[in-house]
Structure formats: structure tokens, C-alpha cells
Structure 1
Amino acid sequence: MKKPVYLTPEGYRRLQEELNHLKTVKRQEISADFEQALEEGDLRENAGYDEARRAMWQNEARIAQLEDLLSRAVIVENGSFDQVALGCQVELETETGERLSLAIVGSHEADIFSGKISDESPLGQALLGKKVGDVVEIRGKKGAQVYTILEIKPL
């Protein structure tokens, strides 16, 4: 049995939109590129044809990947969070008083630059199941980092 893919409703919607775009718009663009390359003649040394073929394989591989992910998707619904769980927003404070807000999402939605961390990451794992007021310590290469949970809310 394949591993389930945990997604927020927003993450599921984004993957569906990407899949739809690849199957419709992107396939049509690639088809047009093939037609243009065929008009150029000899395919043995036709860079346009080679590029269209590469784009087609990449597109089809991504379509297969998305279909697989979506077939295994488990959508995490928002609820009331009295403890940190997948699909929640966590407000944290460091020992130095710095505040940060992180969303706990499945690994396929994680994007640290958008403030979304995976439930499988070291910090995500340490936060799961904790409550407001709990202190979490993460040990890493740069030493220990301590966070206090200030607030837990749905995404």
C-alpha cells in the first residue's frame, strides 16, 4: 500500500489546478511546438523538435506524478485546535523574543519561504501534539533552538 499524502484543502485545490493546466493548456502549447518543428523539415537535426519532445516527456511525467499524489490524498480538514496538528497555524516565540508564524502542512505542500513546514520536518514533528504554552527544543548543527507556542489556529 502506498503512503498517504496529507494535504490541506488549499493544497489539494492547487495540485488539481496544476494538473488541469498541464492536461489542457500545456499539452496544447507543446502540440503547437511540435507542429512548428515539423514545418521546419528534417527531424534528425531539429532543435525545436527535440525541445518539444523533451517538454512533452516532462509534462507527462509531472501529470503522472500529480495523478499519483491526488489518488493518495488525504485532505486534512480544519477544526478547532487545542493542540498542534496538521493543517494548523502555529504562532511561536524564540528565546530572544522573535515571533514567527508557521503553517503545519504535509510534505508536498511544505515551502519554508511561505511559512509552511512539513509535519515530517524536525520542527514539525516536535510541535505535533503540543499545546499553547508548551516549550519545544530542537537540536541542530547550530545548537539548540527553543520555541514557546503562543497560539494555535486553523489555516
Structure 2
Amino acid sequence: MANDYVLTPEGKEKLEAELLYLENEKRAEVGERIKIAREFGDISENSEYDDAKNEQGMLEVRIAQINDILANATVVEAPKRSNRVTVGSTVTVDMGGRERVFTIVGGAEANAAEGKISNDSPVGSVLLGSKKGDQLTTEGPTGRKIEITVLNIEH
């Protein structure tokens, strides 16, 4: 069963660039590491060879993962003239007296460190469709109630 992914245009570009790098540069690097490790002799007790083969396996899994995402993704652009939160919106919120800024993206490009939260996450899903001034409530990962006030929406 294929997964359905939601991507912003920027997220799609980023995945395409990563795929290009992995298929063209990283594959060659790992192939070269395997070739060099084979030259050390007996590969049954060769940790350099094992490491390179493990990296090759992880690389191929990531390439397959990106190909699956790109093949099954719906690219969503935030409407330019909307007063509601959509995928692609950057939202400034007040969460318990603390101002936070989130960009709502699909799960495949979510990255909390960059402030990009999934439209399927508890906070992301409650923000979808909301407008400036809305007061929302959701449940956090620990089961604690989170109060959110939408301060600003940018597209």
C-alpha cells in the first residue's frame, strides 16, 4: 500500500536535491570505500568493508524512501490570499505565554529544529483551518493540555 505524502514546493525541491546528491555523489563515495576495503584482503574480518557495506545499505534505503515520497506526494502551495492556516503557512502563536513560530508542512519534511511541524502532528492539525485570533486547545505528547492563540499567519 502506497503512502500519501504532503509536500510544499520547497520540500519537494529539497528532496529532489538530496536524491540527486545521494544517487550521484554519495553512491560513488561509498562504492570507492567498498573497493578500497576489499583491497585490504579477507573481507570476512574486515571492519572497514563491513562499515562501508552497512553505509551502502542505509544509503539505498534512503534513496528508495525519497523515491517513494516523490512518487506519492501531493505538492501543496499555500494560497496567497487566505486568512486561514494551510499547509505551507507560517504561523506565529502564543503557547502559554511563550511566542513560537511554526511552518506547517507535510510529515516527510517536518523538522522541529527548523520550526517545521507536520500537518498531522497534534499542534499542526489543530492549527489547520484556524485564523488570526483563534484560541485552540490540543493535547501534548505527555497528555498535557496545550492552549494556543494564533497571533499571525503568513503565506
> TM-score normalised to the size of structure 1?
0.90
CA distance in 2, matches of 1:125, 1:52: 40
Count of aligned pairs between the two proteins: 153
Partner of 1:149: 150
Please report how far the alpha carbon of residue 31 of structure 1 lies from its aligned counterpart in structure 2 after TM superposition.
Answer: 1.3
Which range moved further: 19-28 or 40-49? 40-49
* 1:62-73 equivalence runs, <5 A: 62-73=62-73
CA distance in 2, matches of 1:29, 1:109: 26
- Structure 1 pair 143/45, CA: closer, same or farther in 2 (3 Å)? closer
What secondary structure is seen at the aligned counterpart in 2 of 1:108?
helix
- Structure 1 pair 127/31, CA: closer, same or farther in 2 (3 Å)? same
Please report how far the alpha carbon of residue 127 of structure 1 lies from its aligned counterpart in structure 2 after TM superposition.
Answer: 1.0
Q: After TM superposition, where is structure 1 displaced by more than 4 Å over at least 4 residues in a row?
A: none
Cα distance per residue 1:41-78 (max 9 Å; x no partner): 22222222212211111111111111111101111113
Q: Percent identity?
A: 37
Partner of 2:110: 110
Please report how far the alpha carbon of residue 14 of structure 1 lies from its aligned counterpart in structure 2 after TM superposition.
Answer: 1.0
* 1:27-38 equivalence runs, <5 A: 27-38=27-38
Structure 2 unmatched runs, 5+: none
Partner of 1:128: 128
Please report how far the alpha carbon of residue 2 of structure 1 lies from its aligned counterpart in structure 2 after TM superposition.
Answer: 2.3
Structure 1 unmatched runs, 5+: none
What secondary structure is seen at the aligned counterpart in 2 of 1:138?
strand
- Structure 1 pair 28/145, CA: closer, same or farther in 2 (3 Å)? same
Cα distance per residue 1:86-133 (max 9 Å; x no partner): 11011112343x321111111111112211111111111111111111
CA distance in 2, matches of 1:95, 1:61: 40
RMSD: 1.6
